[in-house]
Amino acid sequence: MSLRSPLGKVLGRGSAKQGVAHWWAQRVSAIALVPLTLWFAFSVVHLPTSDQEAVRAWVGSGINPVLLLLLIGTMTWHSALGVQVVLEDYVHGKGLKVASLLASTFAHLLLAAAGAYAVLRIAFTTGSV
Amino acid sequence: MRPRPLSPHLGVYRFMYTMATSIAHRITGVVLSVGLVVLVGWLFAAASGAEAYAQASGLLSSVFMKLLLAGWLVAFCYHLCNGIRHLNWDLGRGLEKSEARRSATLVVVATLVLAAAFIYAAFFAEVPR
């Protein structure tokens, strides 16, 4: 039995939406986030977070800024994909749905840009350790 | 045309605890997306002046924020463990009902252990200098 709709069969293309690409991207980002988030969580719980200089020194030292950029990029990507699915599922009404999806996309891009800027600014203004 | 049924299809299925693990994955995902805002805000404050960081650090060390941070740690541990369960399903493994129920229990136990370890390290252990 095929799950393809009659129209999809006629067109020979299945769904017109980018379901597979979205599904795949969510898995790829999930796999990358397993080591990245564990590395980040292990590092931050050992950081004296009330001490700004200690935080800046950690952010700017060695490979850390590179991993932090990857973390922020992958996290916002994965989050954007996930929130998109939640909004598509639970926000009904075309106008509100499109508006909330746009707001989520812009908010995630803003978070990615702000996070990357913060990491780079620290990395380029702290002396290398 | 009669209005089509829309998700969430609550009340159509008999409740099983594996359903709770599924919706909890979404809820923790959304919770972590909100946490992303705090993470980026913290990095941004670290990249800014001492005054901005002192303000952010003061906010983050309030009892309310500490409880929230502990909650985010739990949400992270759950989303990580259950995410690995999902990736295993994506490989076509563990899809039998009995296996899914066993892995649901395993995820809850692993979450509690991992979250307890992180919360201990973050809030109760001595910070090494």
Domain-located, residue A60? yes
User: Is the Cβ of A86 closer than 8 Å to some Cβ of chain B?
Assistant: yes
Domain-located, residue A9? no
Task: Tell me which chain B residue has its CA closest to the CA of residue A116.
Answer: B40
Low-confidence winner among A51-55, A121-125, B1-5, B112-116 (lowest mean pLDDT) = B1-5
pLDDT at B72 > cutoff 50: yes
- How far from each other are the two terminal CA atoms of chain A, in whole angstroms? 62
User: Is the Cβ of B116 closer than 8 Å to some Cβ of chain A?
Assistant: no
For testing the chain B interface, which of A68, A79, A87 should be mutated: the one with the most B CBs within 10 Å?
A79
| CATH number for position A48 | 1.20.1300.10
Low-confidence winner among A7-16, B9-18, B87-96 (lowest mean pLDDT) = A7-16
pTM of the model: 0.88
Range of the domain at A36: 21-125
Percent residues over pLDDT 90 in chain B = 79
The residue extents of the domains of chain B are 17-122
Task: Report the pLDDT value the prediction gives residue B89, as an integer from 0 to 100.
Answer: 96
Q: Is B45 exposed, middle or buried (0-12, 13-18, 19+ CB in 10 A)?
A: buried
User: Is the Cβ of B121 closer than 8 Å to some Cβ of chain A?
Assistant: yes
Instruction: Tell me how close the Cα of B95 comes to any Cα of chain A, in angstroms.
Output: 17
In this structure, what token pair is assigned to residue A42? 């292990």
Domain count within chain A: 1
Residue A77 is inside which H or E element, if any?
A: helix A64-90
pLDDT at A129 > cutoff 50: no
- Domain B17-122: which topology? 3 helical TM bundles of succinate and fumarate reductases (1.20.1300)
